[in-house]
A and B are shown apart, each in its own frame.
Chain A
Amino acid sequence: MQANLLLPLFSKQARRYQAIYYLLTGKRTVSNLSAGLAYQLLPYFHFYPKLSQDDYQAALQQLVEQHYAKIQATDKTIQLTSLGQVVQARLLQRGFWPTTYNYWQDGDWQLQWERLLLSVQVISNYQHHHAHYTPLATQPLVQNEIRHWFYRCGRTQQQQFVEELSATTAQLTPNQANLLVNSLRSSSYPGVSDFQLSLSLSLTASELILARVTVLSAFLRKVQQFPQSAPLRQVFQFPTTILSLGSTRTYELWRSGQPWSEIVQHSYQKESTLLEHLLEAAILMPDFDFDQPRLQQLVAANPESYFGQRLLEIQELRQGVQDD
């Protein structure tokens, strides 16, 4: 972990660094998501799923040693020093940090990236009659998806895929397009190593990964404008629901107007869990209605409760975000 790359996640205000760690590794709890909302870091949910606590702590320590940040051990918070803010601004100016990426809109970038690499590899190798090769995707999920996608892809669709791919790439900035195409490879095109690519672009290895996410995010936004039936569009899976499975159910029942007592009665889960589902929806759903009377009644039933207080916090945060 290159420590300074974490700087954009922090600010001059103190932030709970553990909540940010859990957010980055994709631990979906109301507390972590609220922190994400408060710090405007929700788009980076699940950004580094494999980041270890050790590496993260070591990186924080390094930021402190470089006088970029201060840590409050008692309340486990971190805040940027004025030097840290300057370095943060300079870093963001270099343009590779993925400020536009949004997990809830673009999907898991690691999966999306593998989908892109593998679909290109599969079509290229097929056209060059290479049948035996190692797939450019480590996740069995992606391997299966692209296999099925390829079976459905006739000759015309393959050609269409190539056309859509090159047309979409042409809409990126020249630098973005370069980075994207030089990351691709197949049996007919060996490509370059990440190290060589990063040297050519004057980025470090970790910076290259972030630059890729930035490009990928721009690319995916354009892909999303294609009709559902477009072969390039079918390579990728975009989030259809941003809530967890349980929360989706609870929230749908709630939205359908079912009385809370009935929802609780018909569920196998504890009421407190169901209330957490509502809180998750309050954080993540753009159309969550804070003003509806049923919600007010639920709060009024126990105003001092965890639920009531949390909901109020979330409402304030979301309005604050919208005011920005």
Chain B
Amino acid sequence: MTDLNSTTIKLQTELHERFNFQQFRPGQQELLQAILAGQNALGVLPTGSGKSLIYQFLAPHLNGLFVIVSPLISLMSDQLARIQAAHLGKAAVLNSRLNVQDRRNILTHLVDYKFLFMAPETLCQPQVLRYLQNITIGLFVVDEAHCISSWGPDFRPDYLRLGQVQQQLQPQVTLALTATATDQVCADIVQQLFAQQSVFIYRASVDRPNLYLRTEFVSSDEEKWQRLQLLLEQRWPTLIYVATRKTAEELALKIAETTKRQVAFYHAGLDNLARQQVQQLFMTDQLDVVVATSAFGMGINKDNVCLLVHYDMPENFENYLQEIGRAGRDEQQALTLIFVSQNDYQRLQTRRQLNQIRPQTVTHFYEQILDETLQNSSGQLAVLKAYQRANFSEADVIATLTKTQEVRELQLQQFWQFLNSTTCLRQQVCDYFDHEPKVIQHDALCCSTSQTQSLSVLLQRLNLPTLVAATTPTVNLLTPTQVWTQLFVNLPDKSSS
């Protein structure tokens, strides 16, 4: 016992000294202790619980390179930027955007690096594996580990090869991380990634008591827009999720034209620098509304989002949970509100059907027959290529696709049922995700639907913290002289004597 306590104190002191945090978030310490004791680990930690802190913390403790596998380029470059800004060790992202020379430079100097981020398909390239096999891998991190499970909504065939790669690389420790995993998905991760090895599992409850959950029923797009305007009257730091890039841009424009809010949009079509800038301005409250699509919301690492709106509905519980997790990271009361609309549900169904890969298309792909669907959809082609890379046979692909499509359909149905339900929303979220769900004591700060309580009454009662007027930004463009004054200390027109 004393041993454990002294370790706890040591870890907490280090946390304070290196990261300036007073205490660990749930799960961080448990996982660190397991890994420091040489155990493999799986952490199911809610969004915003500081998953990346774990491997940042471990940098001085484990020798060798930390290889971090992550599915999205944007995620990797955000984490890379954070590591570089915090000077935690040399770090790089290995991806297809690098030119040949930069790529070779990284691979031939791997020993100089502490962190190397890459997508699973990059990691599985024979050349990359060869370089990695020649050096010590201190930690192998599989981020968004739920992508390994065909029971999860984000299944990626490339993830299936990670188990084998892990055995080839022989890392000292392997850590799998995810924000959303049901029992079934957890079992899949353990089986695929850790086959015969022992593994420490930490599963935090998905419940975040400071998030108020709200379903808002609307019968038309116009009604939705009116309710949103009501929500935007106060200067709450606001994040709005929409389904498509086009909607993100259009809605941001509408908000800019009709409200006094400082708004911008955020989606995969923006280049890195533009995304960075939106994040930065949002972080410092120079922007107070961001309209974003789901794929690129992950980079938004802001503490005081106190209003989170799903203007369009996501496809499942998993995405919903991840996205509402961006609100109230400062532990203050936050409102998460999702619009429930029959129209949106129909649109989602149509989009899904369009994106479904038919068995015939799979056959054409494997027999290399010219297929019109494939010619017109690089998305479907990319999925099939991923299966092929993961050595799936034609029959396996058809079977897996049929299964995942069924799973997705089921997940959508369950989520739609949740949205239309009248019982405690929080209880349902916990029941869906948690291994041993607790019984929620529903109260005035828990949840509601628009059918039992009006929005204006709710807003009055929640009394969310608004941004103080002193930080009200100006959007007027500055003149060159004004900009030079802010940028540089020694101005050209001043004599430098």
Contacts and interface: CB of A to CB of B under 8 A. Distances in A.
Interface of A: 52-54, 114, 117, 120, 123-124, 127-128, 132-138, 140-141, 158-159, 162-163, 166-167, 169-170, 177-178, 180-182, 184-186, 188-197, 199-200, 205
Nearest to A113: B273
Nearest to B378: A54
Interface in B273-288: 273-274, 276-278, 280-281, 284, 286-287
Interface string B435-479: 000000000000000000000000000000000000000011111
**What 3 pairs between A and B have smallest CB-CB spacing?**
A189-B486, A181-B483, A195-B264
A200 B475 CA distance: 8
B102 interface: yes
Given A193-B277, A196-B475, A188 B264 contact: no
B478 A194 contact: no
B187 interface: no
B115 to A, nearest CB: 15
Contact of A132 (B85, B264, B281, B478): B85
Given A182-B483, A190-B286, A194-B274, 12 more contacts: A114-B273, A127-B489, A136-B276, A163-B492, A170-B480, A181-B484, A192-B475, A193-B274, A195-B252, A195-B264, A196-B264, A205-B270
B264 A140 contact: no
Given A52-B378, A190-B284, A195-B264, A184 B496 contact: no
A61 to B, nearest CB: 10
Contact of B277 (A124, A141, A191): A191
A163 B102 CA distance: 33
Given A53-B378, A190-B286, A196-B264, A169 B480 contact: yes
Contacts of B431: none
B98 interface: yes
Contact of B265 (A169, A182, A195): A195
Nearest to B280: A190
A134 B264 contact: no
Given A167-B492, A170-B480, A134 B378 contact: no
Contacts of A193: 264, 274, 277-278, 281, 287
A181 B480 contact: yes
Contacts of B496: 159
A162 B491 contact: yes
B262 interface: yes
Interface residues of B, number: 50
Interface in B245-298: 249, 252-253, 256, 262-265, 270-274, 276-278, 280-281, 284, 286-287
B487 interface: yes
A186 B488 CA distance: 10
A123 B488 contact: yes
A181 to B, nearest CB: 4
Q: Which of B77, B483, B490 has the most CB of A within 10 A?
A: B483
Contact of A192 (B477, B484, B487, B488): B477
B262 A196 contact: yes
Interface string B94-112: 0000110010010000000
A232 B484 CA distance: 15
A188 B487 contact: yes
A184 B487 contact: yes
Contacts of A205: 249, 270
Interface centre among A169, A177, A182 (most CB of B within 10 A): A182
B72 interface: no
Contacts of B61: none
A301 B51 CA distance: 69
A128 B489 contact: yes
A162 B492 contact: yes
B273 A117 contact: yes
A113 to B, nearest CB: 9
B87 interface: yes
Contact of B480 (A117, A120, A178, A195): A178
Nearest to A196: B475
A127 B490 contact: yes
Pick the most buried of A120, A132, A138, A170: most chain B CB atoms within 10 A of its CB: A138
Contacts of A194: 264, 270, 274, 277-278
Interface in B73-93: 77, 81, 84-87, 92
Contact of A120 (B86, B276, B487): B487
A185 B274 CA distance: 12
Given A134-B85, A138-B77, A184 B262 contact: no
B267 to A, nearest CB: 10
17 contacts: A52-B378, A54-B378, A117-B273, A132-B85, A133-B85, A134-B85, A141-B102, A166-B492, A170-B480, A178-B480, A181-B480, A181-B484, A192-B475, A193-B274, A197-B477, A199-B253, A199-B256
B484 A162 contact: yes
Nearest to B476: A200
Given A196-B264, A196-B475, A134 B484 contact: no
Contacts of B263: 195
A177 B264 contact: no
A65 to B, nearest CB: 15
Nearest to A195: B264
B264 A141 contact: no
Contacts of A200: 475-477
A186 B274 CA distance: 14
A127 B52 CA distance: 32
Contacts of B476: 200
A133 B264 CA distance: 22
A124 B84 contact: no
B288 to A, nearest CB: 12
A132 B86 contact: yes
Contacts of B487: 120, 124, 184, 186, 188-189
Nearest to B263: A195
Nearest to A208: B274
A196 B282 CA distance: 13
Contacts of A138: 77, 271-273
B419 to A, nearest CB: 30
Contacts of A163: 492
Contact of B98 (A140, A170, A180): A140
Nearest to B493: A166
A159 B490 contact: yes
A51 to B, nearest CB: 12
A116 to B, nearest CB: 11
